[in-house]
Every structure is written in C-alpha cells, then in structure tokens.
C-alpha cells in the first residue's frame, strides 16, 4: 500500500501588532534584505490597510517572486483560500502582516497542513501601547503570549521601560523587548527578573500572590525544581480516573481576563484521595519529582506529599500575575 505524501513544509513568518505599529516598514526592510530574500516564492498576506504600503519593486528580482494577497475580513481567513493560493502560486514560504484586532486562533485554525510558524514578532507604538493594554487587554495578551520579540516603535529617549516590561513579563517571560527611538537607534530591555521566592531555600514557600508566577516558571523550567521541597496553599481537584494515591492540586488562574480563568493544577501523590473533596483548601508540603503520570499526557512535575494540612481559602481565590 502506498503512503500518502507528506504535506510540504511551509515556513510562516508572523508579524503582529495594531494599526500603525510599524509592521509594514519592518516587512519591507526584511524582504529587501538579500540575506532573507534570495528569490524564494513568497506569499505575503496583508490583513489590514495602513498608511504605508509595500513596494515590491524594491525587493530582489523586482519582487517577481513575491505575491501580495489581501484579506478584507477575518471571515476571509480560511484554510481553503490559503491552500488555493499555496497551490496556484507554488509558494515556498509565507509572510503575514496580521490584523491586531483579529485573534491569532483564526490564523492557526486556517493554516493548511505543513504550515509552521518559524518566527513571530509583535510591533507596538510606545506612545499608545499602555492605552491599548488598558482597554483591549485580551487582544494584547493574544499577541504577546507566543511572540519571540516585541518592538516598541517611536519610543522617546529616556523612556521608562518598567511599565512595558511588567505588562509583557506577566504574559511572556522569554521574549526579547526592544525600543526603537525616532533616530533609528534600538535599545534592548535587559532587566533581570528575579523570582519573588527563594528557590534555593530548604523549603520553597510560594505565597498566594506568587502562585501564577511560580506555576508559569515551573512549566517553562520544570527541571530546575526537580528534588526541591515546596510549600503551597492550594485547592484539591479529585478525579475517579486517577490512582487512589493521587489528587490534583492547584489554583484557579487568570492570564488576561475573567473569560480565560482556568484551573492550573499538578498531580500530587502520597495521600488517600478519599480523604479530600474537590474544592478543599490545603497547605501542601511536597518534594518535586519529574516523571510520567496518568494525570499528564507525557512527563511532568509530580508533587510527592510530605505534609498535608487543611486550610482556609486564600483571600484572593483566583491567582493572577498582578
């Protein structure tokens, strides 16, 4: 029996941000750079119209290998349309100038098989970003959570980076942050973010206000917690599908807004699940082991209980980054 051909891998270079944030200018410069553009057949998806327009005549080979296509609305972003352009134009890669008012899931759900985001950059006007974040937090969060670089354009000299840094690090602890000044000079945010708890303490105590930061750090760098002893103030979530010696412990956690609150929990072993009901609050002292457990689809942190004490609910039952 013949196997079906694997779909062609199509690298996607994703540029996000709100209108007049500088995306078009950066894409123009990128496609003019012969180190990036050696004539590969490139589909450029334009998802909004700003003051600036791309000038394909300035690209290598006069832009004959670059194909611009415009999407008028989010409803036009369909897998059928993208697959049709891929086939008709025989493209090798895709550059997307994404509309800041569209959720990224609309793009991810429409990408044909084989399309893979290779790089993702977010652009913002330093003079309007704070207002965007205050008024459209969910859209800002959506663009920050998976980007590799945030570029703040039109940044005044001497700008206080602190409020920008705090907003970004509450969502994304790994991306780079750059401020481009009107004279073209670029300044990188090199602030070091110390964890708000002592990871080298004999017992690492996670305060209620620090649960979200700890949970995110555990997910990103779980190996550094292997063998550590933690003390957590958490809720119990029991499940009949788990072994009797296992409970799920965690907190309701909010990333950006009330609509995305969900339980952020981990498997804890070494207790009798019959002793606890879902919703119970406990103080858990446990040693961390990284391994496989039925609660996870792969390897994850397993909290081996040393002491479990009943507790009163936290003053703020939903953990946040603020």
Q: 68-119 pLDDT, tens per residue? A: 999 999 999 999 999 999 999 999 999 999 999 999 999 999 999 999 999 9
Say whether pLDDT at 6 is over 80: no
Q: What is the pLDDT of residue 256?
A: 62
The CA distances from residue 275 to 59, 232, 237, 244, in Å, are 68, 18, 12, 10
Q: Please list the residues that pair with 291 across neighbouring strands.
A: 300
Q: What is the pLDDT of residue 119?
A: 95
Say whether pLDDT at 280 is over 90: yes
Q: What is the pLDDT of residue 257?
A: 61
**Average pLDDT over the chain, rounded to an integer:** 92
Q: Are 166 and 144 in contact (CB under 8 A)?
A: no
Mean pLDDT of 163-179: 91
The number of beta carbons lying within 10 Å of the beta carbon of residue 65 is 18
> Which of these ranges, 62-71, 97-106, 227-236, has the smallest mean pLDDT?
62-71
Would you give the DSSP letter of residue 237? E
Q: What is the pLDDT of residue 45?
A: 97
SS3 (DSSP) at 180: strand
Task: List helix spans (H) across the chain.
Answer: 23-32, 79-89, 104-110, 129-135, 137-144, 162-169, 211-220
Q: What is the pLDDT of residue 309?
A: 96
Mean pLDDT of 281-306: 94
Say if pTM beats, i.e. exceeds, 0.85. no
Which of 255 and 294 is assigned the larger pLDDT?
294
Percent of the chain having pLDDT more than 90? 75
pLDDT per residue over 15-24, tens digit each? Answer: 999 988 999 9
Q: What is the pLDDT of residue 2?
A: 40
């Amino acid at each position: 029996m013949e196997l079906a051909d694997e779909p062609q891998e199509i690298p996607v270079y994703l540029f996000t941000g709100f209108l007049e944030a500088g995306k078009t200018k950066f894409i123009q410069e990128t496609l003019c750079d012969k180190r990036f553009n050696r004539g590969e057949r490139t589909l450029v998806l334009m998802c909004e119209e700003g003051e600036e327009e791309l000038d394909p005549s300035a690209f290598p080979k006069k832009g004959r290998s670059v194909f611009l296509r415009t999407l008028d609305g989010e409803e036009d972003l369909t897998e059928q349309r993208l697959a049709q352009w891929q086939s008709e134009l025989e493209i090798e890669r895709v550059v997307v100038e994404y509309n800041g008012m569209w959720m990224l899931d609309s793009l991810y759900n429409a990408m044909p098989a084989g399309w893979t985001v290779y790089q993702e950059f977010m652009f913002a006007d330093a003079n309007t970003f704070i207002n965007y974040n205050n008024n459209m937090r969910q859209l800002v969060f959506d663009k920050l959570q998976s980007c590799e670089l945030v570029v703040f354009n039109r940044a005044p000299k001497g700008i206080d980076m602190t409020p920008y840094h705090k907003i970004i690090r509450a969502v994304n602890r790994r991306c780079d942050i750059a401020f481009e000044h009107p004279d073209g000079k670029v300044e990188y945010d090199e602030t070091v973010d110390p964890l708000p708890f002592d990871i080298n303490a004999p017992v690492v105590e996670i305060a209620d206000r620090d649960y979200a930061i700890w949970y995110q750090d555990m997910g990103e760098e779980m190996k550094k917690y292997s063998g550590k002893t933690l003390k957590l103030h958490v809720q119990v979530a029991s499940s009949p599908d788990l072994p009797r010696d296992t409970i799920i412990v965690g907190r309701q956690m909010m990333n950006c807004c009330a609509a995305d609150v969900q339980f952020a929990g981990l498997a804890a072993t070494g207790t009798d699940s019959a002793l606890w009901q879902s919703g119970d609050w406990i103080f858990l002292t446990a040693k961390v082991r990284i391994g496989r457990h039925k609660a996870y689809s792969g390897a994850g942190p397993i909290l081996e209980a040393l002491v479990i004490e009943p507790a009163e609910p936290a003053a703020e039952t939903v953990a946040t980054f603020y």
